[in-house]
Structure 1
Amino acid sequence: MSGTDHPNIQWRRVSMKYATLGVINFAISTLFFIAVAIGLSFIPGGGWWWLFGAIPALLFASQMIFVVIRTKAIGYALRQDDIVYRRGIWWSRMVAVPYGRLQLVDINRGPVERMLGLASLKMVTAAASTGLAIPGLPQAEADQLRDHLIRVAETRRAGL
């Protein structure tokens, strides 16, 4: 994301540790399929059975390269009346959630996210299609963003 995409928006990117989380997830899947390939290779007279594990392992391993690129494409921006979220390389998605529509702002952390000091910030609105989650935020940033969004949402709902 660069300033040329939307000149009036100052994008904030998620932590690059989020790429590490993605690599870990793909590595676990890859190791599973490698184990399957090794197990299938021991079948007597099995011939090419090991490919049923090797091909998915190669596919998952190749995805690890794109994790960093996808992580760099994730970002959010705080504007006057809403928060804008963007993700995606080939199929990009951009969502703007008006502050006054926020009903719940929640922080989620899985075990690996906790180890990496990351959190996902989830925003819920009355319309399910406009709710969103921003993954890969440093814990302190997620806490600050949650507090800011709650504060701003309360003033917008009150009409102040």
Structure 2
Amino acid sequence: MQTTETALLILLLVAFVIYRQFRTRPANKPLVLIIGGVLFVGGIASGGVVDPLNPTLSVALFGVEALVAVALGAWRAATVRMWLDASGMAWAKGTSWTLVAWLASAAVRVGLYLAGQALGLAPSTGGVLVFVGLTIGVQGYLVASRGRTLARANGRSDTVTS
């Protein structure tokens, strides 16, 4: 797949994920985990995550990117409003803070990309896919976990599954 096509695909998937997060949705159907997993695996499979000319530096930057992706996903998950309906079903919806966290996530990703460029690392579509897949997956997992915990606290452990 061409770099332009991959970038467009990433933007479309991220837009879809963000759109869904601002709609009321059951917390027990984490479609975003599947999307995150596909992006992550696609990024690893596409290669280019490690720059062969600067392997140590690129692995170090990849480690930083992975930690940042996890932290940003956890931050966005914490901004999602969750509640139980009358039947004990857990529901989730993004807040204005979720949007702020998404904007910060995009800015941080651009900053990491520019840092890699400044360090002389070759740009990698695979690295972007891994970052986006990891951050989306972590957020989806944590929101689903909060939903399960909320339902269990209400005595409805069978209501929310992942």
**TM-score where L is the length of structure 1:** 0.27
- More helix by proportion, 1 or 2? 2
- More strand by proportion, 1 or 2? 1
